[in-house]
Amino acid sequence: MTVQIGDRIPSANLTRATDDGPKPVTTDEIFAGKTVALFAVPGAFTPTCSARHLPGFKDLRGEMTAKGVDTIACVSVNDAFVMGAWADSQGIAKDEIIMLGDGNGDFTRQLGLSMDAKGFGMGERSQRYSMIVKDGVVSQLNIEQPGEFRVSSAEHLLAQL
């Protein structure tokens, strides 16, 4: 079943890209007591994700924090090394956007937001989405239709704050 507005984010383990290498982190650590803008991409270094999705959140970070967002986090079914290298290639400081690896896709499956990208040689991946999570509860949820990039954008999410 797909996560819905009003649902609590499931307890899961992710891996955060840090300057000291990958660091395990739980969803409780990420979401408890905070307002988090979370967005997911099908893959680091992929065209839309690199040209528009991640840069949009970087560019609008200040406006989001001014509207009460404590943390911006990006998750992908990639490992933390890839997420860290992608952040570096995009000029993202580790404290600007938390880059989360969901290497096995466990968190993504728990949300009901996985997709089959085997036709593209990518295996199981995350759908493209964005959400606002307040103290672990989803308050806004924007899931893209396959091949689209509109409702998960930073601009769309900012307008919902």
Report the mean per-residue pLDDT for the chain: 93
Active site residue 74: no
Bridge partners, 23 (sequence order): 16
Chain position carrying tokens 């308050």 = 139
Q: How far apart are CA 49 and CA 55, in angstroms?
A: 8
Q: Is the pLDDT of residue 51 over 90?
A: no
Which residue among the candidates 9, 25, 38, 49 is catalytic per the annotation?
A: 49
Q: What is the structure's pLDDT at 18?
A: 86
Whether the pLDDT of residue 19 is over 90: the answer is no
pTM tops 0.85, yes or no: yes
Number of residues that make up the chain: 161
The Cα–Cα gap between 154 and 55 comes to 9
Residue-range domains of the chain with CATH: 13-160 (3.40.30.10)
According to the model, what pLDDT value does residue 118 have? Answer: 66
pLDDT, tens digit, 9 for 90 and up, residues 105-143: 999 999 999 967 666 656 577 899 999 999 999 999 999
